[in-house]
Structure formats: structure tokens, C-alpha cells
A and B are shown apart, each in its own frame.
Chain A
Amino acid sequence: MSTSSSSPMLTKFESKSSRAKGIAFHPKRPWILVSLHSSTIQLWDYRMGTLIDRFEEHDGPVRGIDFHKTQPLFVSGGDDYKIKVWSYQTRRCLFTLNGHLDYVRTVFFHHELPWIISASDDQTIRIWNWQNRSLICTMTGHNHYAMCAQFHPTEDLVVSASLDQSVRVWDISGLRKKHSAPTSMSFEDQMARANQQQADMFGNTDAVVKFVLEGHDRGVNWVAFHPKLPLIVSGGDDRLVKLWRMSETKAWEVDTCRGHFQNVSACLFHPHQDLILSVGEDKTIRVWDLNKRTPVQSFKRENDRFWVIAAHPEINLFAAGHDNGVMVFKLERERPASAIHQNQLFFINKEKHVRSYDFQKNIESPSMLSLKKVGSAWVPPRTISYNPAERAILVTSPADGGIYEYINLPKDASGAVEPSNTLRGSGTAAVFVARNRFAVFNQGNQQIDIKDLSNSTTKTIKPPHGTTDMVFGGPGCLLLIAPTMVYLYDIQQKKQLAELSVAGVKYVVWSGDGLHAALLSKHNVTIVNKSLEQISTLHETIRIKSAAWDDAGVLLYSTLNHIKYTLMNGDSGIVRTLDQTVYLVRVKGRSVYCLDRAAKPKVLTIDPTEYRFKLALVKRHYDEMLNIIKTSSLVGQSIISYLQKKGYPEIALQFVQDPQTRFELAIECGNLDVAVEMAKELDRPKLWQRLGSEALAHGNHQIVEMTYQKLRNFDKLSFLYLATGDQEKLQRMAKIAEHRGDMTSRFQNALYLNDVQGRIEMLKEVDQYPMAYLTAKAHGLEEECEAILEASGLTEEDVTLPSLGRPAAPPKALVPTYKTNWPTRATGMSSFEKALMAEGGDEAVAPDANGEEDLLAEEEAGDGFVDEAEDDDDAAAGWDMGEDAVAEVEDDFVNVESAEIGAGSSEADLWTRNSPLAADHAAAGSFDTAMNLLSRQVGAVNFKPLEDRFMEIYSGSRTFLPANPGMPPLVNYVRRTVNETDSRKILPLISRDVESVQANEFNNGKNAMKQNKLEDGVVSFQKALHLLMVNAVPSQSQVNEAQATVQQAAQYVLAMSIELERRKMVGGSADLSSFPEDVKKRSLELSAYFTIPGMDPQHQTLALFSAMNFANKNKQLGSALGFANSLIERGTNAKFKENAKKVKAIAERSPTDAIDVEFDTFGEFDICAASYTPIYAGEASVVCAFCKVKYHKRYNATVCRVCNVCAIGAPCSGLRLTV
């Protein structure tokens, strides 16, 4: 035991229950089944620590339990002699297999056949078919309780253990043959089988004992096969764990592991490593080295005897059952130690080899070093720190209470060599703090040593009390981690700079720019800046595993099952799910680089849209947001509610389709037009009501009116009309009130209208003669008074009147408000919306003019009303109401309706909304935005040359349809989307497609080259450039074609301009002798440069030919030779080649130049299109974003000489030619 380390156990989960007798891991999900002595079976999620389910049908203890590998099934066996097969989906016991005559000890599924094997105290081992629920084999032979029986993972073997002190290996190949399809067994097979296999004493050939392993001197409790090797491990009441090996023909004992001081309950092989694990009633879990059979580790529990152990088939997890429950644990840390330097990741893999990984090339290096000797063999190193200056690493390992080792990496990775000269020492943490210094922290004596590269201490620091870990803290600093605090410590000044109270920090991840760090604890991420000031913090219920920074300053972190992100402001969300835990090391664009648990580098692809979008929102990068909206399908409730929550309802509005949500958002951002549209669509009183109150707040009385109409809010409507001074509508309200028979309303309206007569009529109608009289009297309507008196059979003397004041008239509205809405400031369009409009991005809401239909008309004509009105007619027959009024009213309505027409928006307006192409905006006549787009896309500044193109597009997209004589023709808009009727997808026809430009201007230019009409050529090509700059093409491939054409045309323009420049200097003369020296030199150079731009081969031939002749005539034999060679090599014209050969022959005699010109035949260079001088490779230059022609730096921001439109070197997003 002395050699075994007793590092603390890495417990992942613990449960409290009665004695656990059986355990099974689910092969895929984070589940374990635990069968208890109390007859219960529990299903736990060990990752979340939750009890998923309980199954209680057994009577008495349940000892055996197993998950099926693929089906949603599990099997259990108990002291009630029963084997039960369950479905965890339906959570029911599917059926029970009866047959055993005593306790069932273990049950296991076969890995591929529908079989279950069980071992029982009735001394038999039985194999069952769970599909037809039958017993297919009973294996007898043990003469005491059979304690355990398992299938071999690949072969047709069974191993069993019994209290009869023996372990038996059984051959069940006969059983498989018998139960496989009959056709598969030929007659020969049958014969062979009959002859070959001797039957046991009962003539049973299905399962025959192959080996009987004797060696334990007490009962054997457990036995297991090795997953790959022909090995068996068994444990028994003799406190021994025995290792057995077998061959085809025999089996023998290999060795014994001694150490348990009580009965061994169970044992198994580690699924991946050369280890044996065993548990016993001595309350220990012991780990043994399979090869040396020496103890590696042991873990002891205070009070609980262990009864069973199980291993996860895939991942490094084990579970052990004891008297008071179950524990799930790991044997070793799985986090691979890693360090990043620039594009390199250094990490230590499972074999403890140091490897590197190149992020750019996506290549993993071979092993560079073996760290087998660092720490103990079974303990992986904890951290690695890399020093690029020395190409050295610092590795720490928790072995032996913490050690560190300083190792130089070999120059190139040449396999897992043992490091030659290493420096080591003891310490909990070690990290490079400078090129030639590293810090070592020792938790035991609470001391930090700063050491030089020869491992001698140069400085000693006393860390704050209780420090548990130390990590890099920025240049010259350390972060010291204590259980509830983190300290920033300056090494130079030997002083603490800052402290922050954060609990349980385990890892620290610095951002690429070193300005921020993420402190990871088990359930929290705290983001701090480099002065350790907290910026944000977030809590996760699931364990946080690792984190890495995106270049844009977004932290991505991984939990057990997710990759998530968090912005600096604390906004977070899920990026993707993980099926297995990974450790992030870097984020680059859409790729997340990580190490998995097997320490293999992996690249996961993520969709960064969501957090990029949020980041853009936070930083108010509207262009980027726009881009994201347009290029990705960013929808979903989460982003909408996010935007809403963050106070950007107007942006959220862009995403939403659902009318209800749209309505809510529209109300929230005060976009009444959208709200009206949605309310119309939904048509629910609640919504109208809300819209009404919102519109009222806006002072938009027309919408208020509409909502009141919708809601039949007559009173409010009347009042609104009164307030807005709409007498006419008020009159109609009075009429409607009359129809409705609503006296109060009539009275009200009459009051509003100051309609005394109406009021009197109404009062008379309801027999309120006194009131009517009073009203009449008050207004001095004596005749009316008389009439009333007469009607009520009274005389004036009978009436006593109160004193009357002067009749008050309702105030008149001073302003005819009703005619239009209040002028409001143009709705505060956010810059985002503006950008959206300009780019013509998303669907644009085309609001109908409000208050279109007169809802009251419908109201009045409505069926319900007609009846009512008729009733009224009868009831009020005596009162002259008549039907004329109704007719009049209806007439009125026609007029009202027609009075409310207004101009709509033209199709051209749609184009600008539907398209981000300059051409489409030009077609719409929106030259402003078209120019804006071009200037953003290619840096266009000089639009003069584009004028004709703009006008051409504009006038080419409108036709004139003669309609009624005398009227101007109807303007219609020509579309390129001929079959489209969805207004959001309609786009204008753009004249002159790429093909026609190629066939005309482009070709003409080339012909001009051929005919040596260079001025015409330049014009032609520039025309082509302008045509293509403002254009629209249907597909990406055409975009590429257009761009290729643009670049080619630009090269021609460049070439021709060079030659024209030369001709300008020397005219047509080929002989330069009469010219001054500088002109000679320059013209020779120009003639040479003429050959450089990328023209078609036949045209380049022309340039070469002219350059060669020119050089030849002017005694530039060196240059002439160069051109001749090029001609011979690349020329397309036989005659020219002939000529070239002659020139070559002459020139080769003395290949020198009379004048030294700046032209290198072999050099790589471009020609500056402004100065016509070379730009050599590597020399700084600026480019025209449109035609891609290069210029010397000094021409930056001037107009491109080739396209004559764009500013050279302007920052821009690139030309868009397709929607």
C-alpha cells in the first residue's frame, strides 16, 4: 500500500439509500441504475444529480441489474427468484422470467443476441431469450451458489463464479448455432458438431464447461472478462483478487492481488487502461496495475462496505455501491493540460505525450516529448505553461503532493522522446511570468518562488493567506486564487494590486488581447478586466468546464453538455449542444477548437450569428447587424424577446411574422402603421382598444376614430368628433344614435351639435315634456313651447319655471383638426431602420392609408341595425324621421369613402426596399441612395461618368400605357422578376445584362485593341466598366463572371492608357534619337510596361511585339531580348515569332541596354495606373475597390484613373450585383 498514492477521490455523484447491490451504467445517457437491498430499483441522472425514476416490483433485495445496450430496456434479478425485464420509457415491467429456484445474484444482457444470463443460488446459470421470453439454456455444474455469470464481450463464452470456490468458463457456441437461423447450419455443421463436441453428462451440448479455474480457497463472489485480452479477473471471500489467462485450450492463474483485508465483493478490468478495480467489505476501492499486479490507488470509506462496482463502457467513470448508497467517480482528471501560443496549441495527451496543434493548418503534430516520468505513471499532469522565447514548457503534476518540471521542447517533433535535461521541484502551480522567469507556488508552505531558467530562486513572495492556486495574471503579474477571493499580484513591486471576492475559482482564461479574463468556478463565470475589476458574472446550474475568447470579445464557455456564450454585459445564450464534454481552447470565426476527454484536438463548427448580432447590437454596429439579418436566418422567439427586453422593439419588428407579436412590438415602439395593419388582420376588440389608447397618446385621431368605430364606442366617437371639430360626422353620429334608439346618446350628440330642436324632439319622444318645454323655453322657441303645452294639455299658467340663464352653446373647435392628423415629427427612425431602408433589406411595411373603409357605413347598413331601425320607425312613427334620412346618409357615405382616397406608394418605392443593389435604386429613381450604396460598396465618389447609366436604367424601367384619351399614359414599371407578384420580391428590369456588355462594349474594346484604336478602346472598356458597376445579375456565378469581366476590362484600360501615354510623349516615331534623354528613358519604360497588364494572349503578343521593336530600334538590346523571349514563349502569332527569333539572334550578341530603364523582365510587379511606374511585390500599394487596379500609396483617396468613379483605397464592402 505504501506505493499507492492516496490522492482525493474525484467523486462526481453520490446518493444516499439503503444498501446498493447492483449497478448499471447507461451506455449513452448519463444514467445509472441502482438496485437496492430494499427491493427498489433507482434510475439516477448522475450528471444532474437527480433521481429520474423508481421501480418497485421486486419482493426483497434486488441484486442483479443491467441496461440493454441499444434498446430502452433493463433487466433485474432479485431474491424473489424473479428476473424482470423493464422498459424505462413506459416505466413498466414488461415481463417476468420465472424459473430460478433461489435468489438471483446477477443478470446481464448479451451484447448482440436477445439473451439474458443469470446466476442464482439454485446453483444454476441460465440463459434466457427476452424476445420470446423463454429459458433457452440451464447451465449446471457449480455445486454451490452461483454468484456471478457474464457473457464474453465478443466470443461465445461465459464465465461464472461460485461459492464452490471455482470459476468456470463455458463454451456456448452450440447454443448460438442452435438459436440462429436454421439455414445457417449445414448438414456438415451438424455432423461436425455432433462428432466434435462431447456432450455433458445430460447429453447437453448447448453450453459446455471449457475450463474450471481453481485457486480461490473460499467462495468466489465476482468474475469478469477483460474487454479485449484473454484475461479473467475474479474476487472472493479469501480476500484475494486473482488474474487468470486463457488460451484456446487451457486457462491458468497468472497472479494474485493482495491487499483487501475483508471479502472482495466485486472486481473488473478498466475498460481502456491496464488497471484492475476491486471493491470489498473492507470498505475500500482498490486500483491495481494489471501488468505489475501492484496497488496503484486505494480509496477508503469510513463506514460503508462496498458490494459492487461497475464501469462505464465508454468514458472514464465508475460506480461503486455500498451500504448507504452509490458513488460515481473518476480515476483521473480528464482535462488535458494545454497552453496556447499564437496559432499553436501545446497539450498533453492521454499517453502523457506533449503534442502541438496548429490552428491554421489544422494539423496535429506527432508527439514531441514523453512525460511518463513526470509524477506517477497513473497521474496525468495538471497544467502546462509555454515559453516561446526558450521553446520550453513548465509542467505541473499533482503527484507526490505537487511537482513541477521545466523541460525544453525538441526542435522538431520526432516522436515521444524522453526529455533529456529537465529541472524539477515541488510546487502546486508553476507558470512562466517572463522570458526568463517562472513562478512556482507551493501550497504547503504558502510561498511563491520566482525562479530563473536554471531553477534557482531569485525572489520569494508570501501570497495572501489561504491561497490555493496561482495562474498567469497578465504581464508581470500573477492571479492568486483563494477559496473565496482572487488577488492580482504584481511581481516587480511585490504588492497586491487588487482583489476581488469570487468563490471557488478553478480556471482563468485570458482574452487574446490580454484585456479581459474569465474566472471560471464550478457554477459561475466572472469576467474581469486586467485590473481585476468585475465586469459581469453569470451563474450556471450545470458544471462549467472551460472557456475561450472569441476575437470580438465574446466569451464562449462549455458546460458538461453545452457551448454557451456570454457578452461583456452579461447577456448569454446557448451556441450548441455537446454530446460529450470538451475543453475549449480557441474560437476563430465559426470554428471552436477544443480538446476532448481523450485529449484529441477537435474542431466544432458553431453558428456565431446570435452572439455576433447581440454584440453588434450592444456596440451599435448597425451595418453589421444589417448584414447579419440579411445573410442569416436569424429568427426565433429568443432573439425577439431579447431585442424587446433590451429596448429595441423596432428592430425586433423586423424579424417577426406572427401578427400578435408584431402588434405588441409595434405598439411598444409606437409604430402605429404596423399596429393598425396587424390589428386589422387579427381584428380583436382588445387589440383595437389598446391601439386606440396608444393612438390617442400619439394624437393620431384618425386611428383613434377607426378603433372607436371598430369597437362601436359611440360615445367616445362622438366626443372625438366634437374635439376634432368634425361636425359632419357628428351629425351622422346623431343619426346613428337615432337609429340605435339610444336616447342618452342622442341627447349627447344633440348637445354637441348644439341642436336644440333635436334635443327637444328627443325629450318629447321619451315623454319628458317638461324638459322639452324647458329646453324650448330656454332657447326662446316660443312656437315649440306652445306646441308642447298643447300636446300635454297645459297652459303657460300651469307651468312654473325656474329662472333661466342664457343657453350655452358647446365651444366650437377652432382648428379643423379632423381634416388631417396632427403633423408629427417624422417617426424617429432609428439609424438601424434607416440603414435597413437604404439597403432595401427586409420586408418593408407598406402601410395602407389609415381609416380607409368607413366602418360606420357598415355599421349602419348592418343587419342587426336594420331590424332595430325598423322597430324604431314603428315606435317613433309619429316623429318625422322618414326614410329619406337613411338614404341621404348612405349617399353621404359614398362621398366620404371617395374623399378618403390618397396616393399609394409606387412600385418603384418597393424596389428600393427590396434590393440592396445600386442599380435597383437607380431604377427606382432614388439616385441618392443608389450613390450611397455605391460609395459604400466600392467607394464610388465621382458619379459624373455614371450619369448616363443611371438615366438609362431609370428610363428603361418605365413604360407608358395609353389608357383613356385625354389622360396622360399610365406609367408602369418593368420588372426583371416577371412572374413575381409578391410585392416584397419585385425588382426592376436592369437593362444591359453582363452578356450584352461582353458582347458589345467589351468586345468593341478588344477589337479597338486589335485595330490599334486605343482611344476608342479606352472609351469602350470604361463604358463596360460603368455598365457593370451599376447592374444586377441573377446568380452568384454571374456575379463572378461580371467581376472577372470588370477586372479584365480594367487591365485593358490600364494597358491602353500606358501606350497612349507613350504615344503622347513621342508620337508615332519609333526612333527616339531626336528626343531628350529623359523622354527616351520614359518612353522605353512605358513601352515595356505596356506588356504587363493582364490582357488576352493575342493582345499581349501585340504589346510585346511593339515593345520588342521599339527596344530593338533604340538599341535596348537587353530589353529587346527579354521581349523576344517572351514572344517566343507566349506569342500567338507565327509571323511575330519569326521576327522575335531574328531579334533574339541579333540581341544575344550583346544583350545590353543603351539606356538603363526601370524594367525587370523577371521581376514580379504591377503597374501603378496613375504614375505608370512599377509597384514591386511587397511594396505598399492601394487598390481601387471596383476594378482592382493598383496604385502607389500616394494616390490614396483620389479617383481611380481606370474606372474614373471610385476613390482609390476607400474602405468598402464590395460590389453587390445580386439580391
Chain B
Amino acid sequence: MDPFSAEGELVNIHTAFVQGQYTSVINDFETSSFSESNKIPIQVLQYRAHCALGSYDEVISQISDKDAKKSPDLAAVKLFASYLKKPSDKAVSEAELLAESQGDNLSVQLLCGTILARAEKQEQAVQLLAKHQGSLDAVALIVQIHLSQNRTDLALKEAKSARSFAQDALLVNLAESWIGVRQGGDNYQKSFYVFEELAQGPSSASATSLVAQAVSELHMGRTEEAETALNQALTLEPENSTAIANKLVLDTIIGRPVEETRAKLQSVAKEHEILVDIAAKREAFQTAMAKYSPKFEA
């Protein structure tokens, strides 16, 4: 039986993970209460939750090299954590190796896939992930990779095929909503409903889904509602960089001074993509500007 299926042992912890309730994943589930065969997946999920919360060092130190050698899952987790801590070419090539040797392992697929995708090797990542055996996590990751490459068509195809075997699974809904925010039009509202349901349910609320809700509202031009949701997210996780980044966008849109938010973002995530991107764009602006030679004096 699939341990992730509705009756399986892992369903609750997995759902919590998907909903972004990482603290709950770490604290509310005791590894010992699960059957032996599920120990590893639980561990992996918990480690991943740690990673999601940014405690990379904890993960790295907890997994000994011996464990890593023994279990490809743990090896992948360790690699994952160290890559997220500090992206390096070495980690990427290790991930490639691991993918080659243990390509059938789901954790390897997911974690190495993520590393590859982050390292601009999206095609490899998709190839690796395509080996999955009906894993929605893999599907969701594939969808995201397609979207990040602006291939909404492929993402849609992927989500559709997933829906055909997983029906109304949470991840499928989420994946479709991610696509929806990209597609726009009526799909904004549809996506909003999914995110809102998650974000506003007391048992499912998390900063991640609140931010997602806010983003969908931003796209529909509902700035006030978006702000409420973002503030909720920031109360839950004051240092959620994505939330702060979106706050920055929101402030810009409504014409509010952005310096404070920007400083805050800088303090939590110096390398956040919005900051990197904006810095790059400023440079681009300077280059573009340099083509003109204004004359100030007559």
C-alpha cells in the first residue's frame, strides 16, 4: 500500500508538509510511532521541513556520512541541505552522480531534482523527476519547473495527467493553482479559492499558503485584502522572505515608501532573488542610460 495514500500512515505528516506547516511536521510526529518501513520517509520529511525553515546546519550535522552512504534518501537530504546552505558546483555534480546511481529513489528524485532545477539544469531535473512512480511531489516539482521556464503548456499537461490518476489531491490542486496564477483571467479567482481555503482553515493555515493567497489577490488587484493576508503571514513567520518580497511589491503598487521593507528583506535574505534581480536591473538601467548623452548647458 502506498504509505502516502489516504489510509496510509504518512498522509497526515505529508499533508502538513505540503501545506507548509513545517514546525508541525517536526514537532507533532514522533518517528517511533511509525512502522519501520516508513521511518526513512518520515525522517526525510522532517529534515526537509528543517530545511524549509532554514536550519540547514542542523540537518547536515544530524546526518552522518555513514548514514548517507547507507541510504540514498539521507544522502540526498544531506546534499540538499548543504546545497541550500550554500549553492556550489560541487553539490550539483554530486547531485548529478546521485541521480545517476539512485535515480529510482523518490527522495533522490525530488531533492536532486530541486538542486538541478536551481542550478539552471531544468532539463536534467525534469528527466530525473520523470522517473517517478506516481508521486505527486514529483509532479508538483515538474509543474513548477515548467512554470519557471514559462512553459505553461507543459505544466498544464503535467497537471492534467496527474489529475487523471490522483483526482482531487491537495498537491494537484495546488499545482493547478500555481498554473492558474500564471494563466490569469478567471483562473486567478480559482487559484485564490484554493489558497484561501488552505490559508484560512485553522488546521491548515501557514505562512506559505497565506502568501499564496495574498499573491493571487494582488493579481486580481485587491491590494487591501492582499495586505491583510501578507500581514497575517508575517505574524506567523516574521522572517518569511517570500512574504517580505511580496510586501515590497505591494507597497510599490500602492505607492507607499518601500525603503523599510527593502531593508528588512535585505536583513533576512541578502541573496533574495528580488534583490539580486533589482540590482541587476539597476545595472541594466545604467547601461541603457549611458547610451544617451544629455546636454545640460546651452
Instruction: Point out residues on A near B: beta carbons under 8 Å.
Output: 848, 894-895, 898-899, 901-907, 925, 927-928, 931, 935, 940-944, 947, 950-952, 954-956, 958-972, 974-975, 978-981, 986, 989, 991-992, 996, 1000, 1170, 1194-1199, 1207
A959 touching B130 by the CB < 8 A rule?
A: no
17 of the cross-chain contacts (CB-CB < 8 Å) are A901-B154, A927-B281, A931-B288, A955-B249, A955-B278, A956-B249, A956-B253, A962-B212, A962-B242, A963-B144, A964-B114, A965-B17, A966-B48, A968-B118, A974-B219, A1198-B295, A1198-B298
CB–CB A979/B111 < 8 A? no
CB closest chain-A residue, reference B188: A978
Complex Cα distance A850/B250, Å? 38
Q: Is there an interface contact between A966 and B255, defined as CB atoms closer than 8 Å?
A: no
A676 → chain B closest CB, angstroms: 15
Which residues of the partner chain B approach A951 to less than 8 Å between Cβ atoms? 278, 281-282, 285
Q: List 12 extra interface pairs beyond A952-B252, A952-B258, A1197-B295, CB under 8 A.
A: A898-B123, A899-B123, A901-B146, A935-B292, A961-B178, A963-B140, A964-B141, A972-B182, A972-B219, A978-B184, A991-B253, A1198-B297
Which residues of the other chain, B, contact A986 by a CB distance below 8 angstroms? 184
Contacts of B273 on A, CB cut-off 8 Å? 960, 968-969, 971
Contacting A at CB under 8 A, from B250-298, are 252-255, 258, 273-274, 278, 281-282, 284-285, 288-289, 291-298
**What are the residues of chain B within 8 A of A848 when measuring CB–CB?**
153
B152 near A981 with CB under 8 A, answer no
User: Are B298 and A1170 in contact, with the CB atoms below 8 A?
Assistant: yes
Q: How far is the CB of B228 from chain A (nearest CB, A)?
A: 16
- Residues on A with beta carbons closer than 8 Å to the beta carbon of B219: 959, 972, 974-975, 978
Are B211 and A962 in contact (CB-based, < 8 A)?
yes
In the complex formed, the residue of B with least CB distance to A961 is B215
Closest Cβ neighbor of B52 among chain A residues:
A965
Residues in B lying within 8 Å of A, measured CB to CB? 17, 20, 22, 48-49, 51-52, 80, 84, 111, 114, 117-118, 122-123, 126-127, 130, 137, 140-141, 144, 146-154, 174, 178, 181-188, 208, 211-212, 215, 218-221, 242, 245-246, 248-249, 252-255, 258, 273-274, 278, 281-282, 284-285, 288-289, 291-298
User: When the two chains form their complex, are residues B291 and A898 in contact, meaning their CB atoms are under 8 A apart?
Assistant: no
Task: Name B150's contact: one of A904, A940, A962, A1199 (CB within 8 Å).
Answer: A904
B296, A1198: Cβ atoms closer than 8 Å: yes
Contacts of A935 in B (CB 8 A): 292
- Give Cα A954–Cα B283 distance, bound, in whole angstroms: 13
By the criterion CB–CB under 8 Å, are A898 and B288 in contact?
A: no
Q: Inside 8 A of A901's CB, which chain B residues have their CB?
A: 122-123, 126, 146, 149, 151, 154
B181 touches A978 (CB 8 A): no
Let me know if A966 and B144 touch, CB within 8 A: no
Q: Which residues of A contact B284 (CB under 8 A)?
A: 925, 927-928
Query: Do A962 and B208 touch (CB < 8 A)?
Result: yes
Report Cα–Cα, A965/B114, bound state, in Å. 9
Most chain B CB inside 10 Å of its own CB: which residue of A848, A950, A952, A961 = A961
Contact B255 A979 (CB under 8 A): no
B178: chain A residues at CB < 8 Å are 961, 963, 970
Q: Are A943 and B151 in contact (CB under 8 A)?
A: no
The residues of B that contact A956 with a CB separation of less than 8 Å are 249, 252-253
Contact between chains at A967 and B118 (CB < 8 Å)? yes
The answer to whether B181 and A961 touch across the interface, beta carbons within 8 angstroms, is yes
Are B294 and A1207 closer than 8 Å at their CB atoms? yes
Kindly list chain A residues whose C-beta atoms are within 8 Å of the C-beta of B212: 961-962
Using CB atoms, name the residue of chain A closest to B129: A898
Which of A904, A950, A979 is close to B151, meaning CB atoms less than 8 Å apart? A904
Indicate if the CB atoms of B294 and A947 lie closer than 8 Å: no
**Chain A residues closer than 8 Å to B254, beta-carbon distance:** 991
What is the minimal beta-carbon distance from B162 to any residue of chain A, in angstroms?
14
Task: Check if A991 sits within 8 Å of B252, measured CB to CB.
Answer: yes
Cβ B285 vs Cβ A996 within 8 A: no
Q: Chain B residues near A904 (CB, 8 Å)?
A: 149-153
List the B side residues contacting A905 at CB < 8 Å.
Answer: 150
Asked if B52 contacts A969 (CB within 8 A), the reply is: no
* Shortest CB distance A707–B (Å): 21
Least CB distance from B243 to A in Å reads 8
Let me know if A966 and B84 touch, CB within 8 A.
yes
Chain B residues closer than 8 Å to A943, beta-carbon distance: 285, 288-289, 292
Instruction: Tell me, in angstroms, the Cα distance from A680 to B288 when the chains sit together.
Output: 39
Alpha-carbon distance A963/B52, docked complex (angstroms): 12
Find chain B residues with CB under 8 A from A962 CB: 20, 208, 211-212, 242
Give Cα A1126–Cα B113 distance, bound, in whole angstroms.
77
Q: Are B114 and A974 in contact (CB under 8 A)?
A: no
Residues in A whose Cβ lies below 8 Å from that of B186: 979, 981
Chain A residues contacting B249 (CB-CB under 8 Å) are 955-956, 958-960, 974
A901 to B49 alpha-carbon distance, docked (Å): 30
Complexed CA–CA distance, A961 and B178 (Å): 8
Q: Across the A-B interface, give the 10 residue pairs with the lowest CB-CB distance, nearest first.
A: A942-B294, A981-B185, A956-B252, A904-B150, A965-B52, A941-B294, A903-B149, A943-B289, A927-B288, A959-B215
Q: Which residue of B lies closest to A928 (CB)?
A: B288
B52 touches A966 (CB 8 A): yes
B298 touches A964 (CB 8 A): no
Q: Which residues of B contact A927 (CB under 8 A)?
A: 281, 284-285, 288-289
CB neighbours of B184 from chain A (8 A): 975, 978, 980-981, 986
Assembly CA distance A37 to B242 (angstroms): 99
**Residue of B51, B123, B246 touching A960 (CB-CB under 8 A):** B246
Our pick among B242, B255, B288, B291 for the contact of A969 (Cβ within 8 Å) is: B242
Given A966-B80, A1195-B298, answer yes or no on A972-B253 (Cβ-Cβ < 8 Å).
no
Known: A960-B245, A979-B185. A965 touches B51 (CB 8 A): yes
Contact of B292 among A925, A931, A964, A992 (CB under 8 A): A931
Looking at the assembled complex, report how far the CB atom of A247 sits from the nearest CB atom of chain B, in whole angstroms.
81
Chain A residues within an 8 Å CB radius of B84: 966
Contact A959 B220, CB 8 Å, known A947-B285, A965-B52, A970-B182: no
In the complex, are the beta carbons of B248 and A947 less than 8 A apart?
Answer: no
Residue among A950, A960, A963 making CB contact with B285, cutoff 8 Å: A950
For A989, give the chain B residue with the smallest CB separation.
B253
Bound-state Cα–Cα, A989 to B282, Å: 20
A966 with B111: CB separation less than 8 A: yes
Task: Indicate which residue in B218, B274, B295 contacts A974 across the interface (CB closer than 8 Å).
Answer: B218
Task: State which of A898, A958, A971 has its C-beta within 8 Å of the C-beta of B130.
Answer: A898
Docked complex Cα distance between A915 and B298 (Å) = 35
How far is it, in angstroms, between the C-alpha of A966 and the C-alpha of B118 when the chains are bound?
9
Report the Cα distance A940→B289, complex, angstroms: 11
Whether B127 contacts A899 by the Cβ 8 Å rule is yes
Q: Is B147 in contact with A907, judged by CB distance below 8 angstroms?
A: no
Most buried by B among A907, A947, A966, A1199: A966
Interface centre among B220, B295, B296 (most CB of A within 10 A): B295
* Chain A residues, CB < 8 A from B141: 964, 967
Closest Cβ neighbor of A904 among chain B residues: B150
List, in ascending order, chain A residues with CB within 8 A of B252's CB.
952, 955-956, 991
Distance in angstroms between the alpha carbons of A487 and B212 in the assembled complex: 83
A904 to B20, CA, bound (A): 29
Chain A hits for B52, CB < 8 A: 965-966
A252 to B151, CA, bound (A): 97
Chain B residues, Cβ within 8 Å of A903:
122, 149-151
Q: Interface centre among A950, A980, A1207, by most B CB within 10 Å?
A: A950
**Chain A nearest Cβ from B245, distance in angstroms:** 5
Residue among A906, A928, A962, A981 facing the most chain B CB atoms (10 A cut-off):
A962
